[in-house]
Amino acid sequence: MNKAVESTEEAKAPSIEKPHETPEGWEPNILAFACHYCAFAAADLAGVMRLSYSPNVKIIRLPCTGKLDQIYVLRAFEKGIDGVFVAG
């Protein structure tokens, strides 16, 4: 491949987002969508076993992860959630 072609392809490539600096002590807000029949039951069991998990994780129970809609994930991000975790 000659250089001219290479540089055009580079120009076409989507720009890569620069990593943001993380402030000290920052914790991400994580939202977990969990299936009632498996992942949520597992979280429940963890509770029964007195296992703790980070308080910056919030769980939303779904009847099935098949119920998860794209808009739920987008709404979460719009409202400031940093990461969405889907388990099912």
Partner 1 sequence: MITGEQKPFEEIWNMVKDFKKVLVFGCNTCVAICHAGGGKEAEILASLLRMKASEEGIAIEINHNAVERHCEPEFFQPVMEDIRTYDLILSTACGVGVNLLSENIGDIPVFPAINTEFFGAVPRAGEFTELCAGCGNCILHLTGGICPIARCSKSLLNGPCGGTNNGSCEVSPDIKCAWVLIYDRMKKLNKLDLMKEINEAKDWSKAQGPRNFKVKVLEEIKK
CB closer to partner 1 out of 23 and 80:
80
71 binds partner 1 (CB under 8 A): yes
Query: Judged by CB under 8 A, does residue 70 bind partner 1?
Result: yes
Give the helix/strand (H/E) hosting 16. Answer: none
Give the DSSP letter string of 23-83: PTT----EEEEEETTTHHHHHHHHHHTT----TTEEEEEES-GGG--HHHHHHHHHTT-SE
Q: Does 21 bind partner 1 (CB under 8 A)?
A: no
For partner 1, which residue of 77, 81, 83, 88 counts as binding (CB under 8 A)? 77
The only residue of 45, 58, 74, 83 in contact with partner 1, by rule CB under 8 A? 74
